[in-house]
């Protein structure tokens, strides 16, 4: 296969391993803590984490996209001095914006806590958690996210995996240690904050070492860059990424104002469902710099082929995870506690919603590579407003399933708008993409019928996965050559570990 696909597959594999590590350790993190800490404190911590995650997206995600795009483009042209200038600008902007937002939230902590005064957790306790997270987690996590984009732009995604592993291990160790001392929700927030600070410090040291290796053979006669263009591009992505995160977290934030325990059930289900997007999000993270490099060379046909293959392969791989969670979601939820099975119906809906969301994210990466950040911001804002409005309307009527339906409907709106936009620029989805989606649908139906007839989750899952794999190869939604290439890349990566 061509080099662009190889770079995309290799980088995506590292990011996927990072996401898998994050998902597995994250699942262990919440399962263990849910057995130590009651659902009320889990719900309170999830509300705070949801708020902080949303704020980090608004304070850091815009500059992350700019770093991935412009560093990759400058490195392609051997303008290494300009690339370093962009990195310095990006980290400074990220730190300044996140610090300002952190201070604002610190002063508003008491007021935000009042919104959850109806819960069994006092608003003073939630305000304390918000204050702690704002001054520690927001700035440090914004830096970590920016550093991850820099690694991806340099095609050093293995360091994203490193930071992910460090963060997850530190978070788990700190939170468990403090939870045993009875700190409950405070233990969870402290785990997030301390782990993020450790990752930021380590990540910055690694970034300095990477950038030093690109000092020679530079074509840059000066290091002047268009700050205005970079900040404009970042500004639209701040809006887009912030709205994406807000719509994913609005369910937890809204449910928590009615029932803090229900926010824990929905939050855990949302974390589990988010696993299905890992493959696509991993590919989307590498697609932006890879496509930017190819477009900078004038290879639009290469980008078109790259996008088609990436989307097909991502859907096929994601299909296996989708089927596991669709057929019997309560099988996973029971591992935490039987009380969490209350969210089984919502989990099924969320699985489909996150699959659609991650597909839209891949399209967004392609559009960002084409410098269409403004169009992305408009599209994401429309879809997010639909989700927010539906969430506020449906949660009082339907509870956690109302939040899940709101996310699903808004995600469909977003995907339709995304495809309309990308099609205008000459990127039409090939038949193979529809075949991949059909493979998932057929396998899900057969698996669900099998579950009803034989009442065995393992048999139903095995049959569904076999049907998905067989059908995908039969209709050539994925070819043997592509499968072998991907497996060889992953094997080479694992062999180096």
> What whole-number distance in Å separates Cα of residue 57 and Cα of residue 47?
16
Q: Using 50, 70 and 90 to split pLDDT, how confident is the model at 202?
A: very high
Reading the block at residue 222, the tokens are: 């000066």
Q: Is the pLDDT of residue 1 over 50?
A: no
**Looking at residues 266-289, what average pLDDT do you find?**
71
Q: For 311-370, what is each residue's pLDDT tens digit? A: 787 788 778 888 888 887 777 777 666 777 787 888 889 888 888 888 888 788 778 777
User: Nearest CA to 313 among 13, 68, 72?
Assistant: 13
> What whole-number distance in Å separates Cα of residue 467 and Cα of residue 464?
5
151 class by beta-carbon count within 10 Å (0-12 exposed, 13-18 middle, 19+ buried):
buried
Helix, coil or strand: residue 102: helix
Higher pLDDT, 25 or 184: 184
Q: Using 50, 70 and 90 to split pLDDT, how confident is the model at 11?
A: low
Contact 29, 172 (CB under 8 A): yes
Q: Using 50, 70 and 90 to split pLDDT, how confident is the model at 201?
A: very high
**Looking at residues 273-292, what average pLDDT do you find?**
68
**Looking at residues 297-305, what average pLDDT do you find?**
74
**Looking at residues 272-300, what average pLDDT do you find?**
69
Q: Residue 368: CB partners within 8 Å, gap ≥ 6?
A: 65, 69, 237, 288, 376
In the chain, the number of structural domains is 1
Least confident of 203-212, 320-329, 426-435: 426-435
> What whole-number distance in Å separates Cα of residue 425 and Cα of residue 148?
29
Reading the block at residue 245, the tokens are: 């995160």
Range of the domain at 210: 3-496
Mean pLDDT for the chain overall: 78
**Looking at residues 155-168, what average pLDDT do you find?**
82
User: Nearest CA to 133 among 183, 195, 176, 178?
Assistant: 195
The whole-model pTM stands at 0.67
Q: How far is CA 2 from CA 17, 28, 183, in A?
A: 23, 38, 53
Q: Which residues of 422-454 are buried (b: 16+ CB within 10 A; e: fewer)?
A: beeeebebeebbebbbebbeebbebbbebbeee
Q: Is the pLDDT of residue 85 over 80?
A: yes
Higher pLDDT, 191 or 55: 191
Q: For 112-140, what is each residue's pLDDT tens digit? A: 877 765 555 555 678 888 899 889 998 89
pLDDT of residue 15: 57
Q: Residue 464: CB partners within 8 Å, gap ≥ 6?
A: 323, 327, 443, 444, 446, 447, 450
**Looking at residues 252-274, what average pLDDT do you find?**
80
Contact 392, 258 (CB under 8 A): no
Q: Is the pLDDT of residue 297 over 50?
A: yes
CA angle 152, 1, 6 (to 5 degrees): 10
Q: Is the pLDDT of residue 27 over 60?
A: yes
């Amino acid at each position: 296969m061509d080099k662009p696909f190889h770079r995309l597959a290799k980088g995506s594999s590292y990011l996927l391993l990072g996401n898998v590590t994050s998902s597995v350790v994250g699942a262990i993190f919440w399962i263990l803590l849910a057995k130590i800490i009651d659902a009320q404190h889990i719900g309170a911590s999830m509300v705070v984490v949801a708020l902080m995650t949303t704020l980090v997206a608004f304070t850091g995600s815009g500059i992350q996209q700019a770093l991935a795009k412009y560093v990759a483009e400058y490195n392609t042209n051997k303008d290494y001095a300009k690339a370093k200038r962009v990195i310095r600008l990006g980290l400074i902007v990220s730190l300044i914006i996140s610090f300002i937002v952190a201070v604002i939230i610190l002063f508003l902590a008491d007021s935000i806590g009042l919104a959850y005064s109806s819960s069994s957790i006092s608003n003073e306790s939630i305000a304390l958690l918000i204050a702690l997270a704002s001054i520690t987690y927001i700035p440090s996590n914004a830096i970590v996210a920016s550093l991850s984009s820099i690694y991806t732009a340099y095609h050093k995604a293995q360091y994203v995996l490193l930071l992910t592993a460090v963060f997850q291990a530190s978070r788990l160790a700190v939170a468990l240690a403090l939870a045993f001392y009875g700190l409950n929700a405070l233990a969870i927030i402290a785990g997030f904050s301390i782990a993020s600070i450790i990752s930021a410090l380590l990540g910055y040291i690694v970034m300095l070492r990477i950038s030093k290796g690109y000092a020679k053979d530079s074509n840059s006669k000066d290091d002047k860059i268009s700050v205005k263009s970079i900040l404009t591009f970042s500004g639209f992505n701040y809006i887009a990424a912030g709205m994406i995160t807000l719509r994913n977290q609005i369910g937890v934030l809204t449910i928590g104002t009615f029932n803090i325990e229900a926010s824990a059930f929905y939050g855990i289900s949302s974390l589990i469902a988010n696993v299905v997007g890992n493959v696509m999000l991993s590919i989307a993270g590498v697609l932006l710099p890879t496509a930017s490099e190819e477009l900078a060379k004038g290879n639009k046909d290469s980008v078109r082929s790259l996008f088609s293959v990436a989307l097909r392969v991502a859907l096929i791989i994601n299909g296996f995870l989708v089927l596991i969670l669709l057929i019997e979601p309560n099988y996973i939820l029971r591992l935490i506690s039987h009380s969490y099975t209350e969210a089984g119906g919502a989990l099924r809906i969320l699985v489909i919603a996150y699959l659609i969301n991650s597909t839209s994210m891949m399209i967004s990466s392609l559009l960002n590579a084409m410098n269409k950040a403004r169009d992305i911001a408009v599209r994401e804002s429309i879809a997010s407003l639909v989700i927010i409005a539906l969430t506020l309307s449906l949660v009082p009527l339907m509870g956690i399933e109302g939040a899940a339906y709101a996310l699903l409907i808004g995600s469909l709106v977003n995907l339709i708008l995304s495809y309309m936009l990308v099609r205008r620029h000459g990127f039409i989805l090939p038949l193979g993409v529809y075949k991949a989606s059909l493979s998932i649908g057929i396998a899900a139906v057969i698996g669900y019928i099998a579950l009803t007839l034989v009442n065995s989750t393992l048999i139903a899952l095995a049959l569904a996965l076999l049907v998905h794999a067989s059908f995908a190869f039969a209709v050539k939604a994925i070819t043997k050559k592509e499968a072998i290439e991907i497996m060889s890349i992953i094997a080479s990566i694992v062999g180096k570990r």
